Structure 1
Amino acid sequence: MEKHPKPVLFVLMFITLFSDQPVLSLDFVFNGFNSTDVLLYGNSDIDSGILKLTNETTNVIGRAFYRSRIPTKTPNSSHVLPFSTSFVFSMAPSRNKGILPGHGIVFVFMPNTDINGTSSQHLGFLNLTNNGDPNNHVFGVEFDVFSNQEFEDIDGNHVGIDINSLKSEVSHKAGYYDDDEEQAFEEVRLNDGKNYQVWIDYADSVLNVTMAPVGIKRPKHPLIYVPLNLSDVFEDEMYVGFTSSTGTLVQSHRVSAWSFSNSNFRLSESLITDGLPSFTVPETPFHRHRSFISGVTVGSFLILALIAMFSLLLINRERRRARERAAMEDWEFEYWPHKMTYQEIDAATNRFSDENVIGFGGNGKIYKGILQGGTEIAVKQVSHENDGMRAFLAEISSLGRLKHRSLVSLKGWCKKEKGTFMLIYDYMENGSVTPPTRIRPGYESEVSH
């Protein structure tokens, strides 16, 4: 862990006269902590200048207070002294998988430091037996990452004002108002391990709370701004500090720097926020996420399955072609490029519907058809019986060689099982399917070979 800057402590206590009443003023800045700066209770500890309220231990409380009580009221008066404090905190979930994070940190004023009887389930702040008791004389600003419906929490990531109770008087979703984005609200995740700076000011019975990620200048617009009279809550002297806890929900809670004053509201500017250690949990590399690994596994399986299926289709198609070629006669190889599939012709003629019959030839019916793509054709059936096969071969032998205005072009041929053959011509409206051997006398010179 990177070491924190050497602790710097400024403490100034002096007595002034105001309306004949002595007033004690207190100012301190801790840029890092040592054991003489704060009182530690429960699970709290100091490690390399960082105040650790809790670690990854279940069901513990950690508290840390300024080393003595501080004046919070004008002596012999109900007037509450103003105060301004700022601190940097971070909360990080456990690195152990399967452990849910919780609970949070509370900045507190308390009349005593005793943690006996305090429940670790409730931020180390109060317990159910004294919750809501006005004799508690406790005030806190909570940074809570657990939504407890029993205390009407607004969500599992909020800031709340607590007075003698675990139920917040006022609460707001954690975040800040960005001055550079026209006061747009930017939500933050309190326990993402990042360092957040908090500013809490109380004066003239008004409390405001502001927060932002470390490195961002204090936003002009506070997160919480509420009239609040603490005269019945504060005693003449109080302990000020932090409390936190874990239950079955576990995370670490740390404070890296802290300033406090009841006379100088600009003392927070003395906090050093550069070079603070980060406690963010390293993100799992994308390629090691379970979802990524599962996706790659499933995707690879599907790709292999598709390759296998495609290969099988190719093999079956080649086998089918091999069987077809094995059953082919010699003349078929010669005119193979002009062969059309029976399925194609069957679809074009609407399964050789009687409605598509446009005539009769010497060896069978002639059908009109439309190929996929819109080309109109005429399909002439040729029987294998008698001279049908001879006429069929004679006609396809002229493929591509004869052109005449009185003749329609022969596009190709088709063979169906059981010896049925078909000749496919371009369709000519009001024309005829005239075999190219029937050229009328006098047109030989117009025939192009």
Structure 2
Amino acid sequence: MARRSLLAAAALALAAAAPQAHAALVIDYSSFTGACGSTLTCVGSAADTAAGELRVTPASGGAGAGYSTAAIALGAGATFSTTFQFRMSQAAGIDPADGFTFVLAKTNTGLGGSGGGMGYYGVANSVAIEFDTFDNGETGASNHVGLDINGSLASSPVSSPYGVSYCHLFDNSYLNDGCMSNGKVWTAFINYDGTSQKLNVSVQQEGLALLQLITDYSLDIASNLTVNEAYVGFTAATGAGLQNHDILNWRLANDTSIGTDPGRLPEPASLALLTVAGGAALAAGRRRRS
């Protein structure tokens, strides 16, 4: 009887606390199966795959975008934090190309230019972080991460992951560690504090250390969006160079709780609280029996 009472109390604590603990997490995809056409507006070549990935653009070519179907209310001053894992694979054509963007936009209908436009070029009232794998003469050459605003690809700031800016198909250098097109799983962390108006971006290739690429960069996202909500998602494109652009999972919060560190990822509230509350109740029951 005492054990049942303790478990009942734990369940009540879980029910009361879960909404508050989980409130900031507004997007949580561990799989994208069935997302296109329901919770995501997928345009162009974007589609969810049988493996549960969001394939924004396949290696067969095209341009695509996948946006949240509903506008997401951001925190004060457009505060948000997000993390997602991606993989760019099966490079072909003249070079691995072209890359993808994570984007916040005023509407969810914009599909920008193909090829080097990465499905983002020309999307108004938007802010994007580009993960670019083709050398169009930019800083960072064929492997760089940069900030784009209002559909422009004049990225600033720009940084190459792990200092690697040379990643090409003809000599297989694109398979090297540090090249985002190498087919390995990468994790991105993007954090924006609307109060301080500071942006931070980090990436991590599997097997390598977490690396911060953009640190406390001053940016007024709210003024670019002109609203304090956004359709959020991903764009990508190919041209004479090809590759799959796959997003494997995705979380977004309307505060800075996700941070730029894997150790700070918010655990789903039900699992975290059930582990704590249920474990405490069972431990108490064991102590009583002993």
The TM-score with structure 2 as length reference comes to 0.69
Are 1:142 and 2:130 an aligned pair? yes
* Contact persistence 2:95–2:134 (CA under 8 A): no
Q: Verify the 8 A CA contact 1:100 1:249 in the aligned structure 2.
A: yes
Q: 1:100 to 1:155 in 2, by over 3 A?
A: closer
Q: Tell me, yes or no, if the aligned pair for 1:27 and 1:264 is still in contact at 8 Å.
A: no
Matches within 5 A, 1:210-225: 210-214=202-206, 219=210, 222-225=212-215
Aligned to 1:362: none
SS in 1 for 2:265: helix
Aligned to 1:42: 44
Deviation at 1:41, TM superposition (A): 1.1
Q: Identify which of 96, 103, 107 aligns with 1:108.
A: 103
Q: Does 1:32 align with 2:31?
A: yes
Q: How far did 1:189 drift?
A: 0.3
Determine the structure 2 residue equivalent to 1:200.
190
Partner-residue secondary structure (3-state), 2:114: coil
Structure 1 residues 110, 153: CA separation in 2 closer, same or farther (over 3 Å shift)? same
Structure 2: 5+ residue stretches without partners: 1-17, 164-175, 259-263, 269-290
1:193 Cα deviation from its structure 2 partner: 0.7
Q: Which residue of 2 aligns with 1:52?
A: 55
CA distance in 1, matches of 2:107, 2:267: 29
Deviation at 1:37, TM superposition (A): 3.6
Distance 1:160 1:52, change over 3 A: same
Q: Distance in 1 between matches of 2:59 and 2:153?
A: 23
| 13 and 263 in structure 1: CA distance in 2 versus 1, 3 angstrom threshold | farther
**What is the SS of the residue equivalent to 2:224?**
coil
1:172, distance to aligned residue in structure 2 (A) = 0.3
> Which residue number corresponds to residue 12 of structure 2?
none
Q: Could you give the per-residue CA deviations for residues 357-397 of structure 1, whole angstroms, max 9, x where no partner exists?
A: xxxxxxxxxxxxxxxxxxxxxxxxxxxxxxxxxxxxxxxxx
2:43 partner SS: strand
Quote the offset at 1:262 in angstroms.
Answer: 1.1
**Match of residue 382 from structure 1:** none
| Identity across the alignment (%) | 27
> Where do 1:6-17 residues align within 5 Å?
none
Tell me by how many angstroms 1:160 deviates. Answer: 0.4
Instruction: Find the structure with the greater CA-based Rg.
Output: 1
- CA drift of 1:268 comes to 3.1
8 Å CA contact 1:29, 1:270 repeated in 2: no
Name the structure 2 match of 1:447: none
| Gaps in structure 1 of 5+ consecutive residues | 1-11, 15-23, 75-79, 131-135, 177-185, 272-449
Partner of 1:352: none
| Displacement of 1:92 | 1.3
Q: CA deviation at 1:269?
A: 4.7
Cα distance, 1:73–1:268 mapped onto 2, change above 3 Å: closer
- Equivalent in the alignment of 2:286: none
- Aligned residue for 2:221, secondary structure, equals coil
| Equivalent of residue 246 in structure 1, options 231, 235, 238 | 238
CA drift of 1:147 comes to 1.7
Q: Are the equivalent residues in 2 in contact too, given 1:63–1:244 (CA < 8 A)?
A: yes
Shift of 1:264: 5.5
- Quick one: which amino acid aligns to residue 219 of structure 2? L
The amino acid of 1:34's aligned partner reads T
Partner in structure 2 of residue 64 of structure 1: 66
Give, in angstroms, the shift of residue 62 of structure 1: 1.2
What's the secondary structure of 1:222's corresponding residue? strand
Letter in 2 for 1:210: S
Shift of 1:120: 0.5
Partner SS for 1:175: helix
Letter in 1 for 2:89: A
Q: Distance in 1 between matches of 2:39 and 2:75?
A: 23
CA distance in 2, matches of 1:100, 1:167: 21
Q: Distance in 1 between matches of 2:208 and 2:257?
A: 18
What is the aligned counterpart of 1:228 among 219, 242, 261?
A: 219
Letter in 1 for 2:160: K
Distance 1:110 1:41 in 2: 15
SS in 1 for 2:131: strand
Query: Does residue 92 in structure 1 map to residue 83 in structure 2?
Result: no
Structure 2 distance, partners of 1:81, 1:115, is: 20
For residue 42 of structure 1, what is the amino acid of its counterpart? G
Q: How many residue pairs get matched?
A: 222
Question: How much does 1:71 deviate?
Answer: 1.5
Residues 223, 264 of structure 1: alpha-carbon distance in 2 compared, 3 angstrom cutoff: closer
Cα shift readout 1:249-270 (whole Å, capped 9, x = no counterpart): 1111000010000136147354
Q: For residues 127 and 55 of structure 2, what CA distance do their matches in structure 1 show?
A: 21
Counterpart code for 1:86: T
1:216-365 superposed matches below 5 A: 219=210, 222-225=212-215, 226-234=217-225, 235-263=227-255, 265-266=257-258, 268-270=265-267
Query: Secondary structure of 1:88's match?
Result: strand
Q: Which amino acid aligns with 2:180?
A: L
Q: Are residue 167 (structure 1) and residue 167 (structure 2) matched? A: no
- d(CA) in 2 for partners of 1:91, 1:68: 27
